[in-house]
Structure 1
Amino acid sequence: MKAIILATEKDFIYGENIPLALVKVCGISLIARILNSLRASGVKEILIILGFEGEKIRSIFKSGEDIGLKLFYIEAGKDQENLKDFLNDDILIISVDNVVDGELIEKIIKMKGEFSCYYNDKPIGIYKLNRENAVLLHEYLASSHVKEKLEKIRLQVPRLDVSEMRVESIELKRVIHPVCIKIEDKQSIEIAKRKLVFRAQKGLHFTSYINKPIEDYITYYISDVSWITPNRITVFVNIAAFLVASLFLLMHTSIAAILAYVVGILDGLDGKLARARGTLTRLGHIEHTFDMLYEQTWYICFSLSLYFSESSHLPLVLGLCMLLTDSFVRHCYMQFKEAMGKALTAYTDFDRLFARVDGRRNIYVLYMILFSLLSMPLYAMYAMLMHSSVTAVVYAVRAVQHMSTADEAEGLKGFLKLVGKPG
């Protein structure tokens, strides 16, 4: 599979003297988002049809080697002899005036046959052609009116309404509508931006929905600021988190707990911003490890502050037990996802339901806030230990059940029984 991106038009949204392809939504240009979605879907060879100020696009992306792609360029209206060599495979054509995500591109690529994509019965300028008919594109792509020429294809191939599509997002732990928005004016830019930000909610816990309006609001307004990146947010959050830990040690538990919850809200911004921009990376996943580091540092510092203030070993014992159960919960979750390819919290309806109330950082911090304000901080440790213990039991039981069922379905249990029988 190869792809062709039509990037011929001038910016008609803001009237800037740049190609439409370089207009940004959530801090990333239209063409960069499409290129990244294609790369993530396994499409490596891409032809970009240039038009107005096309050299600006070429100078930014060059050969594509730095972004893991092999890019080719031709100017609309100029015949290219080597174009036929490119058109020797199935072809996906995408007009740059679309905001699309990787889920949609991947879904389209996997579908068989030829079609023209529509959204709510409106053509959006995305086509898929088989290898046999792709060679016919040579005449169309060499035309200075390439978009008008491609209208002939739209009338000749079946229609596919992508507005009805659903895909299961492993990252978001739910079934979603892929993003596909035709950019026609400033209003459509705002619609695309809102959809990208507001659908980026990942958490299932009830506290995630309490935090969501705040996270959405902040992400919406910082998403267009290119120098604010997910990695920089992660660094800032970790610095702030350890400052909060020092407040716990200084026995300012009420203030520290409230600030810890604020840090927890900010911690949700890096992933949400990355998802809104379509720039999820492998490096970004290490953020969860640093989350664990500062979260468990909070628990240790909170229990130490109670030990210092009450001169009793009980807070230390409770804190140690809570750390053990919390660590077990995290490891159980990670092992299950690695083995099963899907999060335990999204595996069945029951698991999703329990994930709304299970033990995790936000609820533990709420316990700290509540009982610290009531001048009974030790009870926060009791509540945290009880909640984490219940979560550990449920996670362990459900993980064993699901893994055992999967082994049985694949015939592994039956095979093991045969192995154990005497010859």
Structure 2
Amino acid sequence: MPDECVILADGPAALVELCGISTLERLLRTLQRCGITRAIILSSSAAEIARRLARPSWARADLEFTIHERPPGPTTVQQIVDLWPEAAARLLLIQGDVVFDIRLLRTLLAQTSSAMLIDSSAPETNRGKLCGAALLQREWAVARNGSVESALLEGLEQHTAEALDVANQPLYDPGLRRNLRPICFPAPALANKQAAERVLFDSVQKGTLDFPAWIHAPIEKFLLRYLCRTSITPNQLTISWAIAACLTTIFFATGHLIWGIVLALVVGILDGLDGKQARLKVETTAGGKIEHHLDSFFDVVWPIALAFHFYSSGRLPTAFYYLVVLLAGEGVDGIAKAIIYSGAGRLMTRSICATHRRPAKYLHLGVGHRADSWSAGKGSNCDGVVGIDDCCNRHSASSTDVDLAPKNTLVDQLTINPVGLVLGCADRFDEAVYHNVVFERHAELALEAAAYALFHYLQNKRLGNAGAAILSQNAERNETHCANFATIVEQLD
């Protein structure tokens, strides 16, 4: 995490409301969920910003912020440096009038050197469009002057700062179970406000996996348009859902089947609303996971209530036999899902087809000590090795495999250890390298997302360069292995 965070919030754009909260409020909530605990808001209209943020918000209660006034005009690098504490090595500089996908900010915060978000799909410079977020090293900022925007553009053009292209980020969102391009857009004008809100509504919709979800989705979206502008919280929706589910159980057990079915349909809609409301207004909490356990609980309780009614009423004496069959099916389904999830990374990568026409290569990223060769990592306990069997350019699509293994696995074959993958620069190494891949045990990234990020990165880099370096980091022990790792790239026959 960076040591400090400065938010540039000028003009009315930062206070534009989208789906019930201002752009600046949305950013503060997002930053808290990225692990940021304090921030400085720099604004030429500090009084208005302070007035709008004076109202307490539980969704950002763990983030402390102070508001500083600055003269009108472009923000200068010197103004940022003046706010920069001497002990802080890194600082996140971010625009308060931009909506950021949390995946982009987490990727940016994981960088080890100065980096900034750009969007090459809307180019304004030879390296792309600045998106309004940059992770700065103190030495980098002190060496520059003039406006912040000109300094960032200069850093991109001179390659003194890494460019993280939004257009090149992985599309798959494990939380939503679907492909979704990370969103990043400035606060819209009034004429474009509805279009911006449509983007946000779409960004919280999970991938549809069953028939009822197809029916519920448009109803939930319609209700959400009104709910998001109220003070109703996701937890209140969850409580309402749980009460309705309990009443449904009572109706089923007492034989009021029509009322039970109607209420069950309502429960199905309420079940999706709380999560969407939380994601839309950035009000997610760890307690939200309880709702998933309640789902599983009522999946079992409702059939039991129905079996009890049909058995006790004499309408179906064998009701409990059918119940056993149903619960056995549920158990098999749960076991199958657990097996699939445990091997999600391998199964996912087998389904990825490489259609890029480029030379076929077999890329080994092997862990070893400084200046050691690939053989140093073989047969030893290490933090992770990744092997990518990329059979591209066979004039036909072909699959790619990644094997996943737990920590301290004896490396007999190519494996990948970490539960997350982020990208970074190689300024920590003694010798010059072209790029590096940073593996990090990061709780916010699932194995599936890690594998997607890896493939996407390697394809964009055209499988990199044989001189590439790797940094392995263990966040659990707060250790960073600052060693050069061997990279072997072999051309397949």
TM-score normalised to structure 1 length: 0.68
Aligned length: 340
Residue 281 (structure 1) shift:
1.0
Q: Quick check: which one's helix share is greater?
A: 1
Other-structure match for 2:118: 117
Please point out which of 221, 242, 245 is paired with 2:226. Answer: 221
The answer to whether the Cα contact below 8 Å between 2:32 and 2:63 also exists between their aligned partners in 1 is yes
Residue 131, structure 1, aligned to residue 138, structure 2:
yes
Residue 413 (structure 1) shift:
9.6
| Cα distance, 1:346–1:278 mapped onto 2, change above 3 Å | farther
Residue 274, structure 1, aligned to residue 278, structure 2:
yes
Deviations 1:106-152 (A, max 9, x none): 12223454346346225443333332122357x76xxxxxxxx3231
Distance 1:274 1:347 in 2: 30
* 1:66-105 correspondence to structure 2 within 5 Å: 67-77=61-71, 83-85=83-85, 88-105=88-105
The answer to whether the Cα contact below 8 Å between 2:5 and 2:39 also exists between their aligned partners in 1 is yes
Other-structure match for 1:156: 154
Other-structure match for 2:31: 38
| Cα distance, 1:83–1:215 mapped onto 2, change above 3 Å | same
Distance 1:234 1:294 in 2: 14
Deviations 1:67-99 (A, max 9, x none): 333434321129799624268423332111111
Distance 1:91 1:130 in 2: 7
Q: Structure 2: state its 5+ residue gaps.
A: 73-78, 124-128, 157-162, 353-402, 414-493
Distance 1:296 1:35 in 2: 40
Other-structure match for 1:245: 249
**SS of the residue aligned with 1:91?**
strand
**SS of the residue aligned with 1:166?**
coil
Distance 1:83 1:346 in 2: 46
* 1:334-413 correspondence to structure 2 within 5 Å: 406=405, 410-411=409-410
Other-structure match for 2:19: 26
Residue 288 (structure 1) shift:
1.5
Distance 2:106 2:185 in 1: 16
Seq. identity, %? 27
Distance 2:237 2:209 in 1: 22
Question: Which stretch has the larger CA shift, 319-328 or 189-198?
Answer: 319-328
**SS of the residue aligned with 2:67?**
strand
Q: Quick check: which one's strand share is greater?
A: 2
Q: Structure 1: state its 5+ residue gaps.
A: 12-19, 141-148, 351-403, 415-423
Other-structure match for 2:460: none
TM-score normalised to structure 2 length: 0.59
* 1:316-327 correspondence to structure 2 within 5 Å: 316-327=320-331
Residue 228 (structure 1) shift:
1.6
Q: Once superposed, what is the RMSD of the aligned Cα atoms?
A: 3.9
Residue 289 (structure 1) shift:
1.9
Deviations 1:227-275 (A, max 9, x none): 1211111111122222222322333435533431332122111111111
Other-structure match for 1:376: none
Residue 66 (structure 1) shift:
7.2
Other-structure match for 1:107: 107
Distance 2:261 2:97 in 1: 46
